[in-house]
Amino acid sequence: MEGVNLKPESLQELIETLHILFATDKVNIEDVQAAMENYESNEDDWEKYAVFEHYRYTRNLVDEGNGRFDLMVLCWSEGQGSSIHSHSDAHCFMKVLDGTLKESTFAWPEESKKKNAMTQLASNTYERDQVAYINDSKGLHRVENPSHSDRAASLHLYSPPFQSCQCFDQRTGKSNTSMVTFWSKYGERTPYKPSRSTSVCPEPEPENN
């Protein structure tokens, strides 16, 4: 897109660029990915949103994108990971801000084979400033911090925003619809609400992914 800054030098400049890129219904995936990759992670930009918890990873809202996208910082303590999950027909961009993250992608389970183990398609490791992209047509994924000594943080963009997703049991392909929540919004802790999901998946609860 002409006149758009695809080399933002700060998180605030990146947010301004994203608002322009998502001003229309047509999303240029390459431009969004380029802008997120070209922003060099600076902890001073995002540390106010970074909240690490011992028992689970956290989702921390940074910007609501005028209703067209949600931008958030996810914080992963050592060894933490998500369940296998969908993205409710949304675009999903994930940029590593610090540390290392492993993404495992899976095929959607066939309706007639709901009790079979899920098929893994790929496994990729992403380092600082690298960006991954997925949507439901490409499959499902699980994200985890593979390190048992270092924490990780990532910047995620979802467009359009969604309030629920499907979580899958890797052993059986069985799914469960779970609500998504934020640990904090704009650097402030959100009120605690009990999970509305059920324990279909043995991995950490899906409402925080």
- Binding region for Fe cation: 85, 87, 141
Angle separating helix axes 11-21 and 29-38, nearest 10 degrees: 170
Strand order in the sheet with 84-85: 120-126, 101-106, 140-144, 84-85, 164-168, 175-179
Helices assigned H by DSSP within 22-121 = 29-38, 43-46
Residues forming a β-bridge with 95? 131, 155
Burial string for 93-121 (b: 16+ CB within 10 Å, else e) reads bbbbbbbbbbbbbbebbeeeeeeeebeee
Tell me how crowded residue 12 is: count the other CB atoms within 10 A of its CB. 11
Cβ–Cβ < 8 Å for 11, 45:
yes
The 8 Å CB, 24+ separation contacts for 5-8 are: 5/35, 6/31, 6/34, 6/35, 6/38, 7/35, 7/38, 8/35, 8/38, 8/39
* Binding site as annotated, residues: 85, 87, 141
